[in-house]
Amino acid sequence: MAKTAIISDIHANYHALSAVIEDVRAMQCTDLVCLGDVVGYNAYPSECLDYVRELKCPVVKGNHDEEVVTPSKARMNPVARQAMDWTRGQLDAPRLRWLSLLQYQRIVRTDVGKTFSIVHSSLNHPKAWNYIINASDASNNFPRQFSQMCFHGHTHVPKIFVWDGKHAEEDHDNLHPLYLNGYTEFQPLPNHKYFINVGSVGQPRDSDPRACYGIFDTDLNLVIIKRVEYDIRAAQDAIRAANLPDYLAERLEKGI
Ligand code: ZN
């Protein structure tokens, strides 16, 4: 039996992470993978990093995980940059080293021998941190995707992209129930590839403030994307107590 929880973009939101992990256990997942951006923006980088590390699951590197170790001049807005500088001051050398050693992409093999890919942004330029927003963007990913299923994050917006061998399309029909009910499930079609964004645990940006994550059940050939309520107020209080930019607290309750 293999039922893998797929979590992404935790962004140091410990309240969201612990609520999601509680839900992962309630959903009786047997495995877990993390798609990066463990740190950045929110107030608990060390706690979230330690939590993920103790889960001993496959983790790939996100742009915030890279930026905190290797600061660059570009690519980050001022609010993210301020949070990043604060985050860097919170992490000790062993934690920074753990982040530095993360791979950009991985093939995950389940205990029943099935494989799928994980990456933070995309398989065609995993180190360039490009944003896969629409089917046209996704069409560049699929030639580099050698497994039927690949899961990614980075935009903080859940999406399902499908490749029929010739064209990439966005699968709105299977995503739509997530916005109606906070839950969707579907069976991937044979002879199609899927590139699925599981949304963000710690800073959703699709106007639904609840944490979001995915599940891939290889026994049932079933993909689930679902929302989880968490204590947003407590996460906001921690951001303000740490003197991080207030916008980071405001955006959590709006899901932006
Ligand atoms: Zn992110």
Report the amino acid identity of residue 47. Answer: E
Could you tell me what percent of the chain has a pLDDT over 90?
94
- The pLDDT of 66-87, averaged and rounded, is 89
- The pLDDT of 229-240, averaged and rounded, is 98
Contacts 24+ apart (CB under 8 A), 125-130: 129/63, 129/75, 129/154
- 3 alpha carbon to ligand 1 midpoint, in Å? 24
Residues 164-204 pLDDT 10s: 999 999 999 999 999 999 999 999 999 999 999 999 999 99
- 117 alpha carbon to ligand 1 midpoint, in Å? 18
| Cα separation, 10 vs 29, whole angstroms | 18
Is 80 exceeded by the pLDDT of residue 75?
A: no
Domain that includes residue 207, residue range? 3-254
- DSSP state letters, 219-231: TTTEEEEEEE---
Looking at residue 211, the DSSP 8-state letter turns out to be E
Is 80 exceeded by the pLDDT of residue 131?
A: yes
- 11 alpha carbon to ligand 1 midpoint, in Å? 7
Is 80 exceeded by the pLDDT of residue 65?
A: yes
Look at the chain and report how many structural domains it folds into.
1
- What pLDDT score does 177 carry? 98
- What pLDDT score does 111 carry? 76
Cα-Cα-Cα-Cα dihedral sign, residues 88, 94, 98, 101: positive
Residues 43-58 pLDDT 10s: 999 999 999 999 999 9
Residue 13 banded pLDDT, cuts 50, 70, 90? very high
Residues 80-115 pLDDT 10s: 999 999 999 999 999 999 999 999 999 999 877 789
- 77 alpha carbon to ligand 1 midpoint, in Å? 13
- 61 alpha carbon to ligand 1 midpoint, in Å? 10
- What pLDDT score does 73 carry? 73
Residues 27-39 pLDDT 10s: 999 999 999 999 9
- What pLDDT score does 113 carry? 79
Residue 89: CATH number of its domain: 3.60.21.10
Residue 151 · residue 118 · CB < 8 Å: yes
